[in-house]
Amino acid sequence: MAVLHNSGTVWALIMLVFFLTCLVSGHLPLILMIAMFQIMIFREIIAMISEPARDKKLKWNKSLNWYFLVCTVYYVDFQSFFEFFEDSILQYRVLSILASNHRFISYGLYVAGFVFFVSTLQKGYYKFQFAQLCITHTTLLLVVFQSHLIIDNMLNGLFWFLLPAGLVIVNDVFAYICGITFGKTQLIAISL
């Protein structure tokens, strides 16, 4: 039982240090952290649903998944960046062109990816390939758009990121404290 107490204390301290680091780090490191989490979650979900035997025969399947991730991140997140860093972007001609034609570029990238998907269709694998495309798009919708909303809130003020993160941390810490103080037996096998 002492190991469980120490483990909970260690995780409580890790969450506290993480929260304090978030307080002092600023926007850019937090955005990069969220982007890293987003990529890791996408990779895990795609790895979970992919079938290695079929993927070996369809050589562009994984590349297309990652291409659609890049296109979606560019579409949803870069618009917010262009608005947030507007003064800096206008100083550079290339970034200014990217910002002013953002939606057209995003649309062109998506259409190019879809055309490439159609060109990679192989007889006997249509159902599998379209299922993979649907799963990829559903994953993008759930992972990338959710991350985009977190980043958008953060760009409206760091408070809107720190408040929910702080509430989750406080909830976990007090659930742990109440469990240690008042809990005599485990409710389910997973609870500590």
Interval 18-23 mean pLDDT: 78
Tokens of 42: 């996408």
Q: Which pLDDT does position 186 carry in this prediction?
A: 63
Span 162-166, mean pLDDT?
85
The total of structural domains in the chain comes to 1
Q: How do residues 23-61 score in pLDDT, each as one tens digit?
A: 788 888 888 888 999 999 999 999 888 777 566 678 888
Asked, for residue 153, whether it belongs to a domain, the answer is yes
Residue 77 lies in a domain: yes
Q: Does 164 have pLDDT greater than 60?
A: yes
Residue 192: pLDDT band (50, 70, 90) is low
Phi and psi of 120, rounded to 5°?
Answer: -95, 0
Q: How far is CA 53 from CA 13, 50, 58, 128, in A?
A: 44, 9, 9, 12
Classify residue 10: in a domain, yes or no: no
Tokens 């070996």 correspond to: 56
Rounded Cα distance, 16 and 10, in Å? 10
Q: What is the mean pLDDT of residues 130-158?
A: 91
Q: Which domain holds residue 97?
A: 61-157
Where would I find the beta strands (DSSP E) of the chain?
none
Q: 189: Cβ–Cβ under 8 A, 6 or more apart, which residues? A: none
Range of lowest pLDDT (70-79, 87-96, 154-163): 87-96
Type of residue at 113: G
Where does the pLDDT of residue 1 fall: very low under 50, low under 70, confident under 90, or very high at 90 and above? very low
What is the distance between the alpha carbons of residues 89 and 96, in angstroms, rounded to a whole number? 6
Residue 139 included in any domain: yes
Task: Let me know if residue 174 belongs to a domain.
Answer: no
% of the chain surpassing 90 pLDDT: 29
Which tokens hold the place of 5?
């107490």
The pLDDT confidence band at residue 105, using thresholds 50, 70 and 90, is: very high
* Residue 26, in any domain of the structure: no
